[in-house]
Amino acid sequence: MTPAELRALGAGVLLANTYHLLLRPGPDVVRELGGLHRFMAWDGPLVTDSGGFQVFSLGFGLEHGVGKQIGMFPGESSENMPPRTRNQAPRLVRVDEDGATFTSHIDGSRQRLTPESSIAIQEALGADITLAFDEPTSPLHDADYTRQAMERTHRWARRCISSRQRSDLALYGIVQGGAFEDLRKASAQFIGGLPFDGVAIGGSLGKSKAEMHAVIEWSTPRLPPAWPRHLLGIGEPEDLFACVERGIDQFDCVAPTRLGRHGQVYTADGRLHMTSPELKEDPRPIQAECGCYTCATSFSRGYLRHLFAAHELLAYTLCSLHNLYFIQQLMRQIRDAIRADRLADLRDQFLSRYAAGLATA
């Protein structure tokens, strides 16, 4: 996607991964090339995460079959999601009180991140919203380990605040505690009492969507009402409703573009698989009432299916564009519904049609 396309479909904020930028091309190169906004030619707001999630999850998740979004909830089926890469190196991350040492998944080099270096790197990158360095846990960690990681995350939160050099960038704290009620409540209470500008809810959100909802319900009432609340890595249409109703304001998720690249598109009637043989001669756009470039230009389902069959790169662009527009449009409708005090009506109306479509797909 180009920045102009993202602008046109209504995107307001982009997120960049500190872990990936640290390994390649390196924060010094980004700074030399004018900072992250100039580097990627995006003049709107940017978020960088702390790097913690990738440091801990790229090892642990690949080893134990738990990843962000894909297979994130080990208790639920993820059969609609594309297969995950399994032939990666085993976990090579060591955590100590000062920080985490890990092995680059690119060249095998030893790397280290601490609360101080994560903040320094994010400030060098120059995003508008930065995140505290944390130790996320997996749904497979027990209560004892999850508590240790949460307490370490709390000590690291204080160090992140102390090491801040740039007051012009917002800094969000991160609530941890896995799917344990006492830990989540304690973490929200603790992080909510520190001088952050907002908060992200991270780490394991449980083994099911129901547990994720509980995690949010334990956390949000204990956070300062004025803080924006970001839920890390979540963003399917049904999740947006469930999480907004429980007090979440911001989301980031790879699903719209990842699904788009695999030929799955969101519609008001559930997901449509663009590679299905039945679409070969289908003259209709993905969705008649959609205002995105792909649908407004009336690219037919048959044409899009052909692009996938021919491995033509435009297929990925057109489907990603539609999916991103769909999610942006849905969030716009959710914001409007909140202002008009009719969020429950919108949810019932949207989900009854969306779920019925999923059931018959």
CB of 296: closest distance to Zn ion in angstroms?
A: 7
Catalytic hit among 49, 128, 134, 269? 49
- Bridge partners for 111 per DSSP: 102
Angle between helices 143-162 and 115-125 (to 10 degrees): 50
Between 209 and 305, name the residue whose CB sits nearer to Zn ion.
Answer: 305
Task: Report the 10 Å Cβ neighbour count for 2.
Answer: 9
Q: Which tokens go with 142? A: 């027990």
Contacts of 328 (CB under 8 A, 6+ apart): 9, 10, 11
Tokens of 359: 């059931």
Is 205 or 274 the residue whose CB approaches Zn ion more closely?
274
Q: Closest CB to Zn ion among 103 and 294?
A: 294
Q: Minimum distance between the CB of residue 278 and Zn ion, rounded to whole angstroms?
A: 19
How far apart are the C-alpha atoms of 26 and 30, rounded to whole Å? 7
Q: Which residues contact 98 (CB under 8 A, 6 or more apart)?
A: 114
Three-state secondary structure of 310-356: CCCCHHHHHHHHHHHHHHHHHHHHHHHHHHCCCHHHHHHHHHHHHHH
| Burial category of 40 from C-beta neighbours within 10 Å (exposed 0-12, middle 13-18, buried 19 and up) | middle
Which residues are paired to 95 by β-bridges?
Answer: 100
Rounded CA gap, 172 and 230, in Å?
9
Smallest separation, CB 290 to Zn ion (Å): 3
Rank residues 228 and 302 by Cβ distance to Zn ion and give the closer one: 302
Ramachandran region of residue 34, left (φ > 0), alpha (ψ -120 to 50) or beta?
Answer: left
**Least separation in angstroms between CB 294 and Zn ion:** 5
Our CB check for Zn ion shows the closer of 272 and 292 to be: 292
Distance, in Å, from the CA atom of 189 to the CA atom of 224, rounded to the nearest integer, reads 9
* 345 a catalytic residue: no
Q: Pick between residue 247 and residue 357 the one whose CB is nearest to Zn ion.
A: 357
State which residue, 11 or 70, has the beta carbon closest to Zn ion: 11
The catalytic residue among 128, 252, 269, 282 is 252
* Binding residues for Zn ion (CB under 5 A): 290, 292, 294-295, 322
Residue 321: both structure tokens together = 């564009």
- The number of helices, as runs of H, and strands, as runs of E, in the chain is 15, 12
Residue 120 CA, chain-centre distance (Å), reads: 22
- To the query of whether residue 168 is one of the catalytic residues in this protein, the response is no
Kindly list the catalytic residues.
Answer: 49, 252
